[in-house]
Amino acid sequence: MHAFNGEKRYNTLSDSYKLRFGKKVFKVPLDGGFTCPNKDGTKGTGGCIYCSPSGSGDFTADKAMDLKTQFETIKSRMLKKWPDAYTMPYFQANTNTYAPVETLKPLFEAAQFYDDSVVGIAIATRCDALGEDVIDLLDALNKVKPVQLEIGLQTIHEKSAAFINRGHDLACFEKALKAVRQRGIEVVVHIINGLPGESEADMLKTIDHLNTLDIQGLKIHMLHVMEHTALAKYYRESPFHMLTLEEYTAITVKQIERLNPEVVIHRLSGDAPRDTLIAPKWTLKKLVVMNEIDKLLRKKDTHQGLYFNK
């Protein structure tokens, strides 16, 4: 028997929110108009090779709107589906701690109290935008309402990190993680499957390594090739093998089997806008991807953490 409730054989975000807050919580993606140290010349200029001009904020509202209006616009859309849910403003686009603390503080403090539905905030960032002063701020915010800090890693393999032009190494990630965890702030890590040159064994090693670290959540994405990115140019000039849905499913299930069962899985597929996605097209069918993963977990009669080795 697996240790998870309901249909799923892994620790889902939705179950973890329900347990923690008593009902459905949805994230409301926001674009605070930030940039990224990997784009503005501090660490690099091109950004990660797969990064779209919106900096992964393709599903936020129009960034010309102020943040509260963005929140209300997206929230009202989502309430049609979940009328009674709580919300979590989600600073998603680009690097959301990459600004002076005096700029960040009022934005985050306001977001914690946009309205009574807000149970916490989520902030996506990079390890090199987490200075002591920013961590002090996150610590203070976290004492008011929970802060879920998302830190992009993508891979533990330095060769792949160099290829995708991450602009930081694993040591930077681990240093930031340690500093943030010392303050008790919850950390969600992003990784990408299907990076060119990475084998299944490499992707599993990324999970094994994460198991040695103090993380609370994980997002797994398939690599997307999108228009207007450096990766699109590379893919057209030197096409490489993109994982098929079957391959992605098989690898992801193996990753779930190895993952620490305490870690909450926030995502097992990415979202890419239909009009700019070049490959792989199967990721557009998010429900199919989720179903395939569930089906294989059931078929193998396996679950998160089955092969977790402390």
Instruction: Give the tokens for residue 57.
Output: 């904020």
Is residue 270 involved in binding ligand SF4 (CB under 6 A)?
no
Does 280 sit behind a cis peptide bond, omega within 30 degrees of 0 on the bond before it? yes
Is 307 strand, coil or helix?
A: coil
Q: How many CA atoms lie within 13 A of 58 on its CB side?
A: 16
Is residue 249 involved in binding ligand SF4 (CB under 6 A)?
no
Distances (CA, A) of 303 to 5, 185, 201: 11, 27, 19
Among 13, 51, 147, 289, indicate the residue that binds ligand SF4 (CB under 6 A).
Answer: 51
Among 55, 89, 120, 194, indicate the residue that binds ligand SF4 (CB under 6 A).
Answer: 55
CA distance 237 to 246: 26
- C-beta of residue 199 within 8 angstroms of C-beta of residue 159: no
- C-beta of residue 129 within 8 angstroms of C-beta of residue 152: no
**Among the listed residues 205, 203, 198, 194, the one whose alpha carbon sits nearest the alpha carbon of residue 289:** 194
Distances (CA, A) of 131 to 29, 93, 98, 104: 24, 19, 10, 13
Q: Where in 60-119 is the site for ligand SF4 (CB under 6 A)? A: 94-95
Q: Which is closer to ligand SF4, CB of 206 or CB of 302?
A: 206
The rounded Cα 169 to chain-centroid distance in angstroms is 18
Phi-psi region of 225 (alpha: psi -120 to 50; beta: other; left: phi over 0): beta
Q: Which is closer to ligand SF4, CB of 34 or CB of 86?
A: 34
CB of 166 to ligand SF4, least distance (A): 7
Number of residues counted as binding ligand SF4 (CB under 6 A): 12
Span interacting with ligand SF4, options 47-55, 83-91, 114-122, 257-265, rule CB under 6 A: 47-55
Is residue 254 involved in binding ligand SF4 (CB under 6 A)?
no
**What spatial distance separates the first Cα and last Cα of the chain, rounded to whole Å?**
20
Is residue 56 involved in binding ligand SF4 (CB under 6 A)?
yes
Is residue 219 involved in binding ligand SF4 (CB under 6 A)?
no
CB of 223 to ligand SF4, least distance (A): 12
Q: Which is closer to ligand SF4, CB of 22 or CB of 53?
A: 53
Is residue 47 involved in binding ligand SF4 (CB under 6 A)?
yes
Q: Where in 132-171 is the site for ligand SF4 (CB under 6 A)? A: 152
Classify residue 124 by its DSSP letter: E
- C-beta of residue 82 within 8 angstroms of C-beta of residue 26: yes
Helices (H) and strands (E) in the chain, counts: 10, 9
Is residue 194 involved in binding ligand SF4 (CB under 6 A)?
no
Is residue 29 involved in binding ligand SF4 (CB under 6 A)?
no
CB of 27 to ligand SF4, least distance (A): 17
Q: Which is closer to ligand SF4, CB of 47 or CB of 217?
A: 47
Is residue 126 involved in binding ligand SF4 (CB under 6 A)?
yes
Classify residue 86 by its DSSP letter: E
Among 12, 38, 70, 148, indicate the residue that binds ligand SF4 (CB under 6 A).
Answer: 38
Q: Which is closer to ligand SF4, CB of 27 or CB of 168?
A: 168
Q: Which is closer to ligand SF4, CB of 167 or CB of 305?
A: 167
Is residue 266 involved in binding ligand SF4 (CB under 6 A)?
no
Angle at 45 between CA 44 and CA 46, to 5 degrees: 105
Is residue 39 involved in binding ligand SF4 (CB under 6 A)?
yes
Instruction: Report the interface residues with ligand SF4, using CB under 6 A.
Output: 36, 38-39, 47-48, 51, 55-56, 94-95, 126, 152
